[in-house]
Amino acid sequence: MLAVTYFVRMVAKEGKAEEMRETLQTNPAIAGEEPGRVVFALHRSRDDPNELWIYETWESEEAVGAHESS
């Protein structure tokens, strides 16, 4: 089985980036531990403070499928 990695780019509305960052980091449905997830990291762009990136690595396509169906 091959690991699966995603980079997800999001752009917050003006003035909402901090709220978005907090939600992404503290919401268990987003950042909580899940079977098959190896890495979850949230990054903020140095060039655009409204641009946020999620980096996730999953053990397999099956683990991604289980995540997406929950």
The DSSP call for residue 30 is H
pLDDT at position 46: 95
So what's the architecture of 4-69 in CATH? 2-Layer Sandwich (3.30)
48: its two tokens: 């655009």
pLDDT at position 59: 97
Nearest of 42, 35, 43, 41 to residue 64 by alpha carbon: 35
Query: Which of the four pLDDT bands, split at 50, 70 and 90, describes residue 70?
Result: confident
Tokens 């190896």 belong to: 38
In degrees, rounded to 5, the angle at the alpha carbon of residue 36 between the alpha carbons of residues 55 and 45 is 5
pLDDT tens digits, one per residue of 10-66: 999 999 999 999 999 999 888 889 999 999 999 999 999 999 999 999 999 999 999
pLDDT of residue 1 exceeding 80, the answer is: no
Rg for the chain, CA atoms, rounded: 13
Tokens 């409204």 belong to: 50
